[in-house]
Structure 1
């Protein structure tokens, strides 16, 4: 190892294939190029970035057309085509119901014709079927079985449907790609769907996802007919005070400069300002009186583990996987306030919660009270009882979010942030509001130590998370845990001076091992550490933390983790053709991080470090070598062990753009 450059993972000589190190995955580029906002990439400007001047509407329109033309056909926006069945069977018929449209239905009602062209059932292996040598999955326990007296050779009675096995029914019916697990043959070659009432009763409270927003509610939101009395009254207060017209508020000063001036907003327990007759009527019409901050649910988070909200990859199946490995607090992917108010089905899916998530929150981003407060009111009402906190994103660094005044832009707009927090507290009732921050906007100009002591006593924040980097740094430098300690000390000093109850403070950045976790806990005074990339690379990090050990996890145990993820994905996204390939896409996203794990049994010194570069190495067995492959074609092969062959039309472009499967990038 002496001849290898600094920052290289200390892999034992017997496992080295080459001293050349792999390229470090660019997490900044991955984070910045996968924004789900309007399907647009980060870096597609809304102004002339060279000159810093605003563009006219006509100029923006022309620029947008040029960008669309430039990106056409290159899959640069990471759009994933939905893979459908060759013949589309009516959903009602597929689930054994009558279709009200009859012969006018645009989907086929011919079950035999559908089953004749449907792809063959997929075999989903059990945990005991996994091997650490090729073919990695043991053959089927029984030979392929075709339906007796039937030409439907797509159905294999030896397969098991992972959704049916857990819940006793499969809502995809005949469209399920694991159909043999829940049908029985009847005379004439037909099939009947079956259910298991005992399993259904057992799964009623443990498998059904929560916070499902139905179509009529989304329509009310979309058409602006959803009542928002609390936010309406609050925004009128701001308007009457002339506050809402102030788009920009005073910036926070840099570290070691003079303190920022106080903000003219009411404190959480202060009396409300005088209201007009109109506002009095609005308050009378309000069905639920907003709680004071002192009546909010207290968050007892000290010593708990916390999975960071992770765009794209922090979906419900991944969070559920992390729960299996011991995480205590989970948070959904960042959603945009504007999209919530537009009734976006995709955005509202981000609040879905699995019953296994014992403490669950959602994260929201927005630039002003007029967006965040109404969105919070709807969220609070629709998710009442199934949402433990709402987190405001004040740390997202990507340009598209920052330039709208959202994310880390709020770090320099403390007055506006205060109004947002207080309004959301009113709108959410007893649901606490938390905030996730970065240390500041510009490198070398930390401001969080000025802002954080004000968040709880002045604005009513119930918990704070601080990521130890500025917006400008992204992931290019190690997180500054000394500064995190400085911020914790500043908050605790004010709490002690004013006799305030301590607010939970979590730090974040580069935590990758149990040893690292507990050293940071002991050295900084934080109540816990939010873990992001560390959990993406090794989801079992929460087990390590709880058991205070480094887990030399075997390749077979890791493959079982992949199997679990696939199962949870099918439960969430569906077992039909579209659901299987959506699960495949997100499984490959997960593998695009997990391949970066270097087994600790291969290292000369422990613990492993997140930012160490890996030389080319082989594992202790064939499976360990396969799981370390940086080639996305291998990730697709792994997905095929659980989800069957990938369709010819299916493509996968990794967030980190390495050897994109099925795209032009892999055909050069």
Structure 2
């Protein structure tokens, strides 16, 4: 199928003055400027612009309409009240069919009858329903009918007659694992879920409720005074160094986990209380020591040593990083198919999980093909993190739990979570010790090199993080302040791995985009267990195959398009085959395409392999489809989605959620 390049893609400006300027430079000069050295015969000529035209390479990340016409109009920002009103109108809309009526095709099947707030008018719905998509329904089979019934966008391919009168038709059981139980969700809503292990551990460590750790803040941690940070860091570093000689002050009934119930000489840690009870006649004087210990009024959680935990050997395994927004279950299935050994769900906020938010719990779902799977959580205080760990451990099938202490996103950092914890090592200690003490599966931690650029601090905490209870530590080779600008500091990652105990799995992260990068980093850091792959997998998910087979894969446009087809199929299975599921799949496909266009085919490069920080110039592909895939225009991404999921709805708009600055900073060139 021939695909002509759209006008929108032709007029996209190439970085650094366009393909024209790139063609006048040698490959070495282009590499020095962090521009992908595309062969001159594939470069586009510089676009012709009018004097008033201000569109450029950075426009893709702005709020523009994406209706395929490339109008570039600014998307209207709506207030919360407007959005709420629109949601109410959508519920009452004829397009919002009652799920029970949709499944059975019977208007009388809804248990709420006329009181149901959703639409029951089948004829009107079918009259305005969008045309069916090409392909077959991913749910319908000889044994079971599609759970989406009349709302399925593959209605014409259903093997069974649509209007089924059976009242016993049940939704197909999902093949995915870790679905949120409705009873558990209601209990979380009402605050009725108990956390006995977490509460006992927090009490044991003197962290009940986390009140001792909660410093008053105005919510503007991005504006931290530098001098106060220096002073606080100095105090905290001293407190870590002298932690064993100057333990936290505890009340009579609060006992340190490392010395719980018994001191080094074997005496009861609250012997004074026991003697008082003997004097009062509550305990017989001839009670053995075990009886004295059992009488102590302290809730004890046995502290698991690392050797007692179920450990995971990460050495040599290809680890797909937890990726916000794009690291969803369908994308992880794609990466598993290309050879990823370890997968991890998207970062989930502890407070949202404890509140029973269905959208947050969806991030914990696991596909059966993910044989080594973990979930990543993020929280500010020991109480929320520890209770979340107990909740996940009790209700989900996971192999490990990862705590994110490196997320640079403002909304996370302003709440005291993510990278904000790098400025509070004592709170890091409290979180890791409390969480690791209540589960027998591995607890891992992900960090950055530090909060501020030029002030790396994780190398001094690596051994402590292991002693606090982590079985693996992932180090992203950038500070929070750097975000994703500049290259990752692998020399510093190597230094951290050299400081780590032998038992601790240290995992490096940053700028792996070819098997050459993988080999270089693993040889540079001999004590490293493995290297995590993040943006490299987003841009080319076949990177895992390249590493395992030690080759550069000059993948053609047809093979890349088949990967997108697989993603769409997995997405419809995950989000549903009704109109809502189709548009959700389209949204995440577009988010992914906002990364994949950065890939430059091997056959077009003068220098191989491509580096992650190279900015691709505007170029033609070897065929029309490859040219379309190279476009950085959102209108062209939408066109690709229409080839897979049909026409977009009227008024459809799209703006990428992530606006990486890795291609915009002068430091990269």
**TM-score, scaled to structure 1:** 0.75
Shift of 1:614: 1.5
Hey, what's the Cα distance between the residues in 1 that align with 2:543 and 2:573? 24
Alignment gaps of 5+ in structure 1: 34-70, 125-159, 496-500, 659-668
Equivalent positions of 1:489-500 (< 5 A) are 489-491=498-500, 495=501
Q: From 61, 77, 94, give the equivalent of 1:74.
A: 77
What corresponds to 2:140 in structure 1? 164
Hey, what's the Cα distance between the residues in 2 that align with 1:634 and 1:412? 43
Contact 1:569 1:583 in 2 (8 A): yes
Shift of 1:656: 5.1
Relative to 1, partners in 2 of residues 1:243 and 1:597: Cα closer, same or farther, differing over 3 Å? closer
How many residues align? The count is 556
Hey, what's the Cα distance between the residues in 2 that align with 1:196 and 1:555? 42
Hey, what's the Cα distance between the residues in 2 that align with 1:521 and 1:169? 50
Relative to 1, partners in 2 of residues 1:76 and 1:589: Cα closer, same or farther, differing over 3 Å? farther
Contact 1:305 1:328 in 2 (8 A): yes
More divergent stretch after superposition (393-402 vs 624-633): 393-402
Hey, what's the Cα distance between the residues in 2 that align with 1:242 and 1:321? 41
More divergent stretch after superposition (515-524 vs 80-89): 80-89
Shift of 1:109: 3.6
Shift of 1:23: 7.2
Q: From 117, 127, 130, give the equivalent of 1:116.
A: 127
Q: From 654, 657, 660, give the equivalent of 1:655.
A: 657
Contact 1:267 1:459 in 2 (8 A): no
What corresponds to 1:580 in structure 2? 582
Hey, what's the Cα distance between the residues in 2 that align with 1:441 and 1:279? 46
Q: From 153, 175, 179, give the equivalent of 1:177.
A: 153
Q: Secondary structure at the match of 1:615?
A: coil
Hey, what's the Cα distance between the residues in 2 that align with 1:10 and 1:520? 23
Question: Does structure 1 residue 548 correspond to structure 2 residue 550?
Answer: yes
What corresponds to 1:57 in structure 2? none
Relative to 1, partners in 2 of residues 1:657 and 1:26: Cα closer, same or farther, differing over 3 Å? same
Contact 1:251 1:414 in 2 (8 A): no
Contact 1:269 1:294 in 2 (8 A): no
What corresponds to 1:371 in structure 2? 384
Question: Does structure 1 residue 392 correspond to structure 2 residue 403?
Answer: yes
Partner deviation per Cα, 1:1-32 (whole Å, 9 max, x = no partner): 53565221111111111379x977799x99xx
Contact 1:269 1:293 in 2 (8 A): no
What corresponds to 1:352 in structure 2? 365
Shift of 1:106: 2.9
What corresponds to 2:309 in structure 1? 296
Hey, what's the Cα distance between the residues in 1 that align with 2:152 and 2:603? 41
Question: Does structure 1 residue 327 correspond to structure 2 residue 327?
Answer: no
Question: Does structure 1 residue 225 correspond to structure 2 residue 192?
Answer: yes
What corresponds to 1:508 in structure 2? 509
Contact 1:229 1:283 in 2 (8 A): no
Shift of 1:240: 7.4
Relative to 1, partners in 2 of residues 1:251 and 1:365: Cα closer, same or farther, differing over 3 Å? farther
Shift of 1:211: 0.5
Contact 2:94 2:121 in 1 (8 A): no
Hey, what's the Cα distance between the residues in 1 that align with 2:356 and 2:541? 32
Q: Secondary structure at the match of 2:192?
A: coil
* Structure having the higher Rg: 2
Superposed CA RMSD in Å reads: 3.8
Question: Does structure 1 residue 563 correspond to structure 2 residue 565?
Answer: yes
Contact 2:514 2:546 in 1 (8 A): yes
What corresponds to 2:201 in structure 1? 234
Contact 2:451 2:479 in 1 (8 A): yes
Relative to 1, partners in 2 of residues 1:375 and 1:280: Cα closer, same or farther, differing over 3 Å? farther
Relative to 1, partners in 2 of residues 1:522 and 1:342: Cα closer, same or farther, differing over 3 Å? same
Relative to 1, partners in 2 of residues 1:650 and 1:630: Cα closer, same or farther, differing over 3 Å? same
Contact 2:145 2:160 in 1 (8 A): no
Question: Does structure 1 residue 463 correspond to structure 2 residue 444?
Answer: no
Q: Secondary structure at the match of 2:461?
A: helix
What corresponds to 2:423 in structure 1? 412
Q: Secondary structure at the match of 2:205?
A: helix
Hey, what's the Cα distance between the residues in 1 that align with 2:522 and 2:532? 11
What corresponds to 1:486 in structure 2? 495
Question: Does structure 1 residue 444 correspond to structure 2 residue 446?
Answer: no
Shift of 1:92: 1.2
Contact 2:203 2:299 in 1 (8 A): no
Q: From 76, 94, 102, give the equivalent of 2:113.
A: 102
Contact 2:346 2:363 in 1 (8 A): yes
Contact 2:476 2:510 in 1 (8 A): yes
Contact 1:389 1:433 in 2 (8 A): yes
Hey, what's the Cα distance between the residues in 2 that align with 1:9 and 1:551? 17
Q: Secondary structure at the match of 1:422?
A: helix
More divergent stretch after superposition (167-176 vs 515-524): 167-176
Partner deviation per Cα, 1:554-584 (whole Å, 9 max, x = no partner): 1000000111111111111111111110110
Relative to 1, partners in 2 of residues 1:626 and 1:280: Cα closer, same or farther, differing over 3 Å? farther
Hey, what's the Cα distance between the residues in 1 that align with 2:608 and 2:575? 38
Contact 1:402 1:408 in 2 (8 A): yes
Relative to 1, partners in 2 of residues 1:104 and 1:270: Cα closer, same or farther, differing over 3 Å? same
Question: Does structure 1 residue 89 correspond to structure 2 residue 91?
Answer: no
Contact 1:365 1:393 in 2 (8 A): yes
Shift of 1:184: 4.1
**TM-score, scaled to structure 2:** 0.75
What corresponds to 1:425 in structure 2? 436
Contact 1:293 1:425 in 2 (8 A): no
Hey, what's the Cα distance between the residues in 1 that align with 2:451 and 2:416? 12
Hey, what's the Cα distance between the residues in 2 that align with 1:445 and 1:517? 26
Q: From 619, 627, 632, give the equivalent of 1:630.
A: 632
Which portions of structure 1, spanning 4 or more consecutive aligned residues, are displaced by more than 6 angstroms?
22-27, 79-85, 240-243, 256-259, 265-269, 275-282
What corresponds to 1:17 in structure 2? 44
Relative to 1, partners in 2 of residues 1:452 and 1:268: Cα closer, same or farther, differing over 3 Å? farther
Relative to 1, partners in 2 of residues 1:639 and 1:163: Cα closer, same or farther, differing over 3 Å? farther
Relative to 1, partners in 2 of residues 1:291 and 1:280: Cα closer, same or farther, differing over 3 Å? farther
Hey, what's the Cα distance between the residues in 2 that align with 1:529 and 1:482? 14
Shift of 1:345: 1.3
Shift of 1:87: 3.4
Contact 1:268 1:293 in 2 (8 A): no
Hey, what's the Cα distance between the residues in 2 that align with 1:232 and 1:640? 51
Q: From 602, 605, 628, give the equivalent of 1:603.
A: 605
Relative to 1, partners in 2 of residues 1:432 and 1:240: Cα closer, same or farther, differing over 3 Å? closer
Hey, what's the Cα distance between the residues in 1 that align with 2:79 and 2:142? 38
Q: Secondary structure at the match of 1:616?
A: coil
More divergent stretch after superposition (330-339 vs 92-101): 92-101
Hey, what's the Cα distance between the residues in 1 that align with 2:445 and 2:598? 30
What corresponds to 1:613 in structure 2? 615
